[in-house]
Structure 1
């Protein structure tokens, strides 16, 4: 299916619009071809907004095999709360098993998180996105001032598009702040991951996520043993690097 609209034009037009308006645009153009990426964290706000616009919204989540028990339970809670299927994407065992056999379960502490994220996150995501026309994420500019400050509300996904087909990426929450997200969660009584009550702001895989102290930035709780410039797993890196 082709969607011949000018991305730059729409992105400029919707740059200051509400997340709901951006989602409406996405549903109008892509309908059932639009998939939401849900990480099991505060991006539940995106699921809530989308579900209120389209009860048949399609949602997937990356099951890396290393999430916190609380996150698995929360994903199930969201599935039941909204009455929607959540497609869990698992790593390819043919890639994962040799890595674990050769390097063990915690190689990323020694040689960086790139290889593990590549197998547990990027490959399953690439597999999924090859079958869709558009996806929406809960990315926000304030999540990482160094790498996400230029997140557009709509873009062609340079990381996962193919020569045969452009993939469109919507970031409806791009302009929302953490405070606005949490106001939304509390006011509308949206379910949330209980890890947030224990100092976790940014939630990823259990071995690579830890709580942050007051006034620490949320990304400091991710891959804390690495340089601050490397705080992305690669899901959005292609798009982010292209803007730096």
Structure 2
């Protein structure tokens, strides 16, 4: 196992967070690792909750998003509304231009529909490589992952060690239900993506996301053309060359 980057072990850090509220836990991490805690937002329901927890309580955690170049117009709209509401500036990380140009020139704009390998290549260029840059030198990565989002996330602990990026990952909403997320957004008047009202539960790139039908799995709207129950883009399990 790769050596952990601080004097804190996973066990000792988990113990420090034990019994704390989400606000207290986020503030504790920000105090323990000043300037080295980042939150990656996709501007979806869960991430808007965490953004509100951070900014409404003046917790010094840097917030960034990955602009893949294929986002919905509604996502840009909620991005602006969030900046305006909290008087903040969410940072943007883009794909590396040369890699994107090669992909588009050699395989065209919709190569990801042709095979899982092509789709992962596109995700690698548009998401994973920019994420690697955003996380470089950081100690804590805060995410909006929840256990009920997919079967392979149900066994994740709230705090874990990420060997791929050599940092800790903290999932403050791990035990929240989708109804609890929506209720928090409503109760606190948090800006949210209007696509959620149209059946879009998990929102990613426009060509790769659709609304889900009643009874469908939470992740059914992502890469729906693939016959795979464990569909992920690689952000939480892969690392690509930069």
Q: Does TM, normalized by the shorter one, top 0.5?
A: yes
Q: Could you tell me the TM-score, scaled by structure 2's length?
A: 0.90
Q: 1:153 aligns with which of 158, 164, 172?
A: 158
Structure 1 position 66, deviation (Å): 0.3
Which secondary structure does the structure 2 equivalent of 1:101 belong to? helix
Partner of 2:50: 46
**What stretches of structure 2 of length at least 5 have no aligned partner?**
none
Which secondary structure does the structure 1 equivalent of 2:83 belong to? helix
Preserved contact between residue 58 and residue 85 of structure 1 (Cα < 8 Å)? no
Superposition CA RMSD, Å: 1.8
Preserved contact between residue 220 and residue 228 of structure 1 (Cα < 8 Å)? no
In 2: Cα distance, 1:108 partner to 1:16 partner: 43
Partner of 2:10: 7
Q: Deviations over 1:122-160 (max 9, x none)?
A: 00000111132222111111111x211122221222221
Structure 1 position 8, deviation (Å): 2.4
Q: 1:121 aligns with which of 119, 127, 146?
A: 127
Partner of 1:98: 102
Q: Deviations over 1:96-117 (max 9, x none)?
A: 1111111101101101220100
Q: Deviations over 1:41-85 (max 9, x none)?
A: 111000001113325531100000000010011111111111111
The alignment of Structure 1 onto Structure 2 pairs a total of residues equal to: 232
**What stretches of structure 1 of length at least 5 have no aligned partner?**
162-166, 240-244
Which secondary structure does the structure 2 equivalent of 1:88 belong to? strand
Partner of 1:29: 32
Which secondary structure does the structure 2 equivalent of 1:59 belong to? strand
Alignment of 1:44-123 (within 5 A): 44-54=48-58, 56-112=60-116, 113-123=119-129
Greater Cα offset, 19-28 or 61-70: 19-28
Which secondary structure does the structure 2 equivalent of 1:168 belong to? strand
Q: 1:35 to 1:51 in 2, by over 3 A?
A: same
Partner of 2:236: 236
Structure 1 position 15, deviation (Å): 5.9
In 2: Cα distance, 1:44 partner to 1:72 partner: 13
Which secondary structure does the structure 2 equivalent of 1:223 belong to? coil
Partner of 2:194: 194
Which secondary structure does the structure 2 equivalent of 1:32 belong to? coil
In 1: Cα distance, 2:96 partner to 2:230 partner: 24
Preserved contact between residue 202 and residue 219 of structure 1 (Cα < 8 Å)? yes
Structure 1 position 218, deviation (Å): 1.7
In 1: Cα distance, 2:59 partner to 2:165 partner: 27
Q: Could you tell me the TM-score, scaled by structure 1's length?
A: 0.89
